[in-house]
Amino acid sequence: MMGELWAQARCGVCSFITLGLRKTKRSVYSEEVMDTIRILHHYAPGYGWSFDSPDVEGLTGGTEAYDPAHAEEAARFALTCAAEEQGRPAPTDLTFEHYVPAGVAVAA
pLDDT in tens, 32-88: 555 789 999 999 999 999 999 999 989 999 999 999 999 999 999 999 999 999 999
Strands (E), 12-88: 14-18, 37-44, 48-52, 60-63
> Rounded distance, CA 8 to CA 17, Å?
5
Helix, strand, coil distribution of the chain in percent, nearest 5: 15, 30, 55
Q: What is the pTM of this model?
A: 0.66
Using the predicted structure, report yes or no on whether residue 12 has a pLDDT greater than 50: no
Quick one: pLDDT at residue 105?
80
